Structure 1
Amino acid sequence: MAQPPVILTCGEPSGIGPELAVKAWEALGARLPFVWLGDPAHLPRGSKIREIGHPSEAVSHAGSAMPVLVHEFPKAAIPGEPDLDNARAVVDVIARGVDLVMRGEGSALCTAPINKKVLKDGASFAFPGHTEYLAHLAGGADVVMMLACDELRVVPATIHIALSEVPTAFNAEVLRKAVRITHNGLSRDFGLENPQIAIAGLNPHAGEGGAMGSEEQDWMIREIANLRAEGYAVSGPLPADTMFHKAARAQYDAAICAYHDQALIPIKTLAFDSGVNVTLGLPFVRTSPDHGTAFNIAGTGQASPASLIAALEMADTMGRARR
């Protein structure tokens, strides 16, 4: 039985998502069929598209035109000028995409960027972002965010909080959840039989025996030993400043970091244009390009499709692993 196509949601129609979808189709074509879910009127003028009635039709048409499942929006999309009247439809497209993959009509979900303030102001969107909304749609799934490229996979155990809040928010329960979900995701979606997971310390030099912070001594060393005794292949706590050079990266399959920048600085240094955001812990595969709506360059043709192409390719590969 043929692999169902990846479902690509349109995201914010006044951002770079629509133009990148067309560029991605031009690069991938029939090699990786995907379905774009959105309003075709929002795509760049002259785009080669084929409106379809069901995702299964994508394989037949992807070689000659980008397959589109139509989801009508109330307003036109002006690049760089989001319209609050379109916000509800953006949210509805995400829910429709989840429904398609949950029913097995898509192999994976790839989401184009949204603008959270636009959704909050225009649709009373009550979630911090895509990840939390997808977890809600999946029935309250326990999830973590992973950023991935060919050279590195990182999981920030805490995400969008002030640095001053991290020492309290990052605790044994949070670390244990991150290790469990990361281990299961690497096994199920990346085909790794015994994934090796490195854990960064919270403090400089991983606390240096308590001289530069006590969290490593107070609970991290003990919790990592407990995880190792349970069969998880974990190492740490490791000094974050020596974890990400080439030789160090060869020792693990993913790194769990204490906070946002500790994880995202190394991966964005290695793959600023091609990193992929992956949500682990969902009952379906979800990836996203690791960039925002870029209103400042929307419609100019300057935006690179590299991250979206990588996200579609990873979604397809992970979908195959699950099947």
Structure 2
Amino acid sequence: MSNQYLFFILFLVINSGLWMIFDNAQQNRMKELQRLILNQRNEEKNSAPPESKKQNNDDKGDKIVISKEFVDWHKKQGPTRADYVKTTVNQEIYNVLAPEVYCPRIRLGRIFDGGKWMCDPINLPNGCVIFSLGINGQPSFDEEIQKYTNMRCKIYGYDRSPGKISAEVFQSINGVSRAITLAKVTDASKGTSTIEDLMKLEKVDKIEILKIDIEGAEYQVMTQFLQKQTVCQILIEIHSSYDGTKNLLRDIARFDYLLFNFEINPNYPFLATEFSFIHKSCMQRYSAIELYRYLP
């Protein structure tokens, strides 16, 4: 038998032995990993729920509870945020913003532009009113909020373009829609109306949810409206101006509204941003917990 053949046999034996050792080591590691995963699952099953668990709130359903440390951390940062809000310019404002309240949020509407963040909509009261200002042929939010709540609210939709009011859709979701341009002054000859005059037109005393996307006209109508009316949640897209955005946010906040979400529109970075507010008087209804108010 040649030496070359002996070396070949020896090579095969050594490699087979090494492979067996490696394979055993791999199997042992897999067994250890499975053991660790099983232990972790058992620990999770036996551990106490996290601080943000729900617990009974007398006869009012469930109440969200968050840890004191969570709230304290926001309170610690709050005064600094308040100072920065006053002094920041341009897009720097977006480095300062953070929720002023904690609440169970959900995004309703299509995944892309058109969806809105709401606070705990399952607690919308029966017979409530939703105003949807600015439809633009995209009523996905309006459809989903009605489906989510089983049509418990009446929804009114408005858009400046007659071809974009989605009349048939609104009829199918316990709603009505009209071609009207939102403005600071009502002028029937020009087809313009204030929000308050729309309420009179529809014989509405109170708006629960105000969704607004009116391509810059928000600067003309919001402050005027909030001086006379209070709604529970404002879901608004603010356009076109960094300083204008900051000033309008602070104006809204001065009427006791607290920010709970914001979402930058990537198609127009920093110049079209969704903001969601809840009024202080409605926080208990929607399971919202104040963290720190810094915008006013």
TM range (shorter): 0.3 to 0.5
Greater per-residue strand proportion:
2
- Which protein has the larger Cα radius of gyration, Structure 1 or Structure 2? 2
Q: TM-score, normalised by structure 2?
A: 0.36
Higher relative contact order structure (alpha carbons within 8 Å, sequence separation ≥ 6): 1
